Amino acid sequence: MVPKQSNSAIQSSADRSFYFRGYRWAICGALFAITSINYLDRFTMSLLKPQLQQHFHFTQVDYGYIAAAFSAMYAIGYGLCGVLMDGLGVWLGFALTVLVFSLAQMGMAAMTTVVGYMVLQGIMGLAQGANFPGAIKAVGQWFPRKERALTTGIFNAGTSLGVVTAPAIAWLVLGHLPWQSVFVVAGALGFLWLAWWLPRYKDPEKNPQLSAAELQYIRSDTPAAQMHVPWRRLLLHKQTWAYVIGTMMTSPVWWFFLFWIPGFFHDKEHVNLKHMLAPMVIIYGMADLGSIGGGALSSWFLRSGWSLNAARKAAMLICALVVTPVFFTSHVHNVYLASILVGMACAGHQGFSANLFTMASDTMPMGVVGSVVGLGGLVASGISIFVSVGVGWLLHETHNRYWLIFAIASSAYLIALLLIHIINPRWQAANDDFTASGEPPASASGLVSS
């Protein structure tokens, strides 16, 4: 007689049959690709910083203003595009913003002044602010909760691929064309992505590529309709504050790595563009491992029976500890050792942020996730404006001494995790479905019990 399987065993077997199978992973691949293109485009500016200084005599302060222009408009775009994604939907939201930032990137080939680069970097930042709110929303629509951290880690790894690809493209282009052509080639990649996205993306319920069985698997977590909720109401909940503060503490560190590390290697280790590829491969190859590993780690903890609170925070603690050795980067005098230290920090950041992004979909209704992520990005990018200008001024005044910046970066993630734990010690979901207008339910008393 064959023993009868329990419902939970049958469900577990069905779940295993869908691991890394199905059309949702093509959507994950598309999110990975556009995240790569986002970062390739924005990293192109930092990679070509020596050319800007050589041909146009830009100073560290000038470059700081260009980076700040991107950060300022990215802050606005991140906030607005979170609402945009909730309102227009993922398909149209991505289509419009990818078109805009690709054109802005290509236009930088014609710029010769600080103001010109600031304007186009600002336009690019405004449009690129849509990427993470849109990607997080898409993950929430296409993946059940148990796969979201891993999926977020996978698409978030695209940031590293974009940064690694940029020096290779620049090296190939510079062998045959003027250096400004790098902007054109990088911008054209967005149009290639749109050629796949426009005809192939539809919401899960309307997508003919998705089987009924896979849709049922995805909907094993109850989806929520898109909602338009004012930020003032979102800010009544500690879950929003936990996400915003975590993002505010860590995103400026990542932006420092993105905008200033090529300059650090050029200034301190005398690495030129031709030899920049190896350090970037080390740094962002490690970052990719951290991005996927950080998401996979918390998913593994969950499958091992850990609570959602313990799984997410344990993974974040491990990632935060991996960042701390970056403190020593400015004290070593070997480009490969420095690359490993920065690579560890980037890996820790990516793993930490994969779980931080997932916190939004874990603790808030899916219909407001884009708005919560957008609000967090708005605040973090606003802080990054002052960080960009401050780093430029500090390096100019101290003749390129980086040690204080690395010291701050080494401790930011542990402090961020401590604050997240203080705000939401049990990783508790908001006690508000946001479907009623006006104030949240009487049982939800803001930062105390929601």
Please give the tally of structural domains in the chain: 1
The contacts of residue 120 (CB under 8 Å, 6+ apart) are: 104, 105, 107, 108, 111
56 vs 386: CA distance, rounded Å: 24
Token pair, residue 358, equals 């997932």
How far apart (Å, rounded) are the C-alpha atoms in residues 161 and 441? 44
- Tokens standing for 361? 């979909």
Nearest 10 degrees: Cα torsion 428, 146, 301, 380:
-60
Place of tokens 């996205």: 197
Q: What is the mean pLDDT of each run of 10 residues along the chain (450 residues)?
A: 42 49 88 94 88 87 91 81 80 94 95 94 92 87 83 82 86 85 94 94 86 83 63 90 94 89 83 81 87 86 92 96 96 92 95 89 82 82 85 85 92 97 92 61 42
Q: Note whether residue 75 is domain-resident.
A: yes
Q: Are 111 and 120 in contact (CB under 8 A)?
A: yes
* C-beta of residue 108 within 8 angstroms of C-beta of residue 161: no
The count of C-alpha atoms lying within 13 angstroms of the C-alpha of 129, restricted to the half-sphere facing its C-beta, is 32
pLDDT of residue 309: 93
Are the beta carbons of 276 and 44 closer than 8 angstroms? no
Q: Is 229 left (phi over 0), alpha (psi -120 to 50) or beta?
A: beta
pLDDT in the model for residue 18? 53
By residue count, the chain amounts to: 450
DSSP 23: T
**Residues ≥6 apart with Cβ < 8 Å to 242:** 359, 363, 419, 420, 423, 424
Half-sphere exposure (Cβ direction) of 381: Cα atoms closer than 13 Å? 27
Residue 405's identity, in one-letter code, is I
Burial of 407: CB neighbours in 10 Å, binned 0-12, 13-18, 19+: middle
What pLDDT score was predicted for residue 407? 93
C-alpha 203/C-alpha 328 separation (Å) is 47
Dihedral sign (CA 233, 140, 99, 170): positive
Q: Report if residue 14 sits inside a domain.
A: no
The shares of helix, strand and coil residues in the chain, as percent rounded to the nearest 5, are 80, 0, 20
Q: Residue 438: its pLDDT value, please?
A: 47
Q: Whole-prediction pTM value?
A: 0.73
Instruction: Quote the CA–CA distance of 358 and 38 in Å, as a whole number.
Output: 20
Assess if residue 215 is contained within a domain. Answer: no
Which phi and psi (to 5°) does residue 430 adopt? -65, 135
**The pLDDT of residue 213:** 85
Q: For residue 437, is it within any domain?
A: no
The answer to whether residue 370 sits within a structural domain is yes
Residue 306 CA neighbour count, 13 Å, CB half: 19
91: CATH: 1.20.1250.20
184 in Cβ contact with 106 (< 8 Å): yes
Indicate whether 330 belongs to any domain.
Answer: yes
| Contact partners, residue 36, CB within 8 Å, separation at least 6 | 158, 159, 161, 162, 165
Long-range contacts of 7-15 (CB under 8 A, 24+ apart): 14/217, 15/146, 15/217, 15/220
In a domain, 1, yes or no: no
Domain of 309, in residue numbers: 22-204+228-423
Structure tokens at 22: 């199905």
pLDDT at residue 80, rounded to an integer: 79
- Identify the pLDDT of residue 1: 43
Closest CA to 157 of 295, 360, 27, 257: 295
Distance CA 328, CA 448 (A): 40
Residue 73, in any domain of the structure? yes
Q: Extract the tokens encoding 246.
A: 């975590």
> For residue 337, how many other CB atoms are within 10 A of its CB?
12
DSSP state of 157: T
Neighbours of 153 (CB within 10 A): 29
